[in-house]
Chain A
Amino acid sequence: MNVEQAMEIRQQKILAALENKNTSVYFMDALDNEMILNMGPQHPATHGVLRLLIKLDGETVAACVPELGYLHRGYEKLAENCSYHEFIPHTDRLDYLSPLMNNTAYVLAVEKLIGVEAPKRAQYIRTIISEMARVSSHLLGIGALAMDVGALTVFTWAFREREKMYDIFELLTGARFTTSFTRVGGLAHDMTPDVIAAVTAFFDQFPEKFNECIKMLNTNRIFVERLDGVGVISKEKAISMGMSGPNLRATGLECDLRKTNPYLVYNELDFSIPVFNDGDSLARYYVRLNEVKESVKIIRQCLEKMPAGPVHANEPKKVLPRKERIYTKMEELIHDFMLVNFGVNPPVGEVYHAVEASKGELGFYIQSRGEGHPWRLKIRSPSFMNLQSTSLLVEGGMISDIVAVLGSLDPVMGEADK
C-alpha cells in the first residue's frame, strides 16, 4: 500500500465516523472549487464602508466587484438646494481626512464662477492649510497601510503626529474635523500669530518624528515584501482608468495639478513632484512618503513669504462682511442680509475647477443659472475614480494582497460615496 492509498483509507474512516442515518459526508478539496467571499461593508481593511465581492479560486482572486453607496448622502442634491456659502460645511464631510483641502477646493471653484480672487495673504494661508491637510491625510494613509500589513506601531506614531496637527486646526478654526474654514473670497478669519507659532513649532519637530516612522517601515523586510510587486498597474492603463494623485504618479507619470495648472500660490514656491515608475503598492507608498516631505518644504516657504494684509477680497456684494461691522454699519448689514438670504448671484455659466487634493484630482463642476444656489454641482471625487481600478489591481493576486492594495490606494468612502 502506498502513502496516497493509506491517506485515502484514513480519510474514508474519518468521514464514516461522522456519518449517521441523517448525515452523509464527502470530502471536497477547498482548492478544487471556486467560492464567493463577501468582504465588507464592515471590514477594518476597507477604510470605511466599502464592500468587495470576491470570487476566489483557492487563494487566488479570480474576480472582484466593488459595491459602493453605503455612505451616500446625496450631497449633489443638497447643493442644488442651498446657497454657495451654505454648502461649505458639507465639503468637510467629503474627504473627512483632509477637510481643509476640500473647503479650499470648493471655494476656488465658486470664486472662479463668480469672478473674485482672494487676497494674497488668504491664498498663502489656504496653501498652508491645504498642505497641512495633505500631511495629515498621508500620515493616516501610511499608518493605516502599515497597520493593514501588520505593523501596528507606525500607525500609533503617525496618529500621535496627526493629533498634534488637529490641535493646531482646533486653534485655527475652532473645530478639529469639521473645519469649514474658507469663505468665498477669503477665509473665516486671519491666521493669528499664535497659530503661526504653533505651526512653526510643529514642523520643527515633525521631520525627525516622521523619519522615525518611515525608518520602521523602509527597513522592515516584511512590510516591503508585502507591497513589492503587488497590485501593479501600467501608466497607460492608469490614465485611461482615470486614476489620479499619488496613485497615478506611482506609475511614472509626472502629473500634478499644482505644477501643470498652478492655483493658489504654488507657482511662487519651490517644490518637486515625487514620481516612481513601478506602479505597485510599494511605489504608491513611496510617493506618499516623499509628498509629505515636499509638503513640509512648501509650508515652511509659505510661512516665510506670507505677506501681511487683509484675508477678504474687497467685493462687498459677493463676500460676506465681518461680524463686528454688521452690527455697527448699515451697508454691511444690508449686504449680509442679501448674501445670507439670497446668496451670491453669479453670472450664467458653467465652470470646472480641479485641485490636487491629497487623494488626487478633486474637481467641482458648477452650473449656474444666475441664482443664489447652483443649478447643478458635480463633485469629481478622486477616491471614486481610484477605486474603479480595484478589480484590475487585485485580480490574479492573492486574497491577502487585497488589504495591501486597498491600503495603498488610500480611498476615503465619504468622498467616493458623496
Chain B
Amino acid sequence: MRDFWRLFSSFFKVALRREMAYRGTFLAGIIGQWISYGATFLGIYIMVSSFDILGGWNGSEVLMLYGLSVMSYAIGASFFYNFSNGLAGRIRSGEFDASLTKPIHPFLHEVFSAGYNVGYISHFTVSLVVMAAALSSTNYNLTVQSLMFLILSVLGASLIQASALIASSVMSFFTVGNNPIADFLLWDVKEFTNYPITVFPKGIQFVLTFILPFAFMNFYPAAALLGKAIPEGYPAILPYLSPLVGALVFALSILLWNWGLKNYKSTGS
C-alpha cells in the first residue's frame, strides 16, 4: 500500500508539471470550460424555470442533476480520462506493450503513466458553485447527515463515471479505429440524466436504472436529497444505493478490461 501511494504521488507530480508548462493555455482552458458548462447550466435553468416545473422538479432542483453529473465526471475523469482516451493511441504505436513488462499490473501502470488530468478542476468548481447556489435557492436545510450522504453519493457517482471510461476503452484492444462506444456511453446516454428520468418512457427508466445504471449517478441521490418521487413500483431503497452500485460497476469494468487484455494481440510494432 505504501508503494502504491509513493508511485501515485510521483506520477501525479509529473502530470502537474506537464500541465503547468503551458500556464496560459491551462488558464484559458479552465475559463473556456466554465463558459461552456455554465452555458449548459443556464440553458437547463431557463428551460425548466420558464415552465416552473418539469416532472415535479423546479429549475434549481433540476440543476442539481446536471451538477452531480458534472462533478462526478470531474472526479472520475481526472483519474481515468487520459488513460481511457489515450489507450487506443498507445496500442497503435506499440507503447502499450511496455506496460506488459512492468512489475505492476498493466492496468495500474497504464492509469498511472497516463497521468492525473488537472484540467478537470474547472468542471469541479463550476458544478460546486452551481449546486451550492441551487441548494441555497431552494432554501434547502443541509444537515451533517445529508452532507455525508451527498459526499458518499458523489463518490459512488464518480466510480460510475470511471467505469464508463474504463469500459469504453476496452474497445481499443480489438479495433484500432476511432471509438464510437466511448461517445455513446459518455455523451449520448448520459444526456438523458440531465433531467429527471421520470419524464422519460418506462423503458428508458429501466435501462438507466438496471442496465446502464447512470441514474444512480445523479437522479437517485438527488431524489433522496430533495424528497422526489422515483419511478412507480421501484424499490424505495434505490436512492441510497449509489455508493454500492458505484463499487459494483467499477469492479465489473476492471474485470471487463482484464478480459479485453487477455484477448489482446499486439500489433507487433
The answer to whether A and B interact is no
Chain B interface (Cβ within 8 Å of chain A)? none
Chain A interface (Cβ within 8 Å of chain B)? none
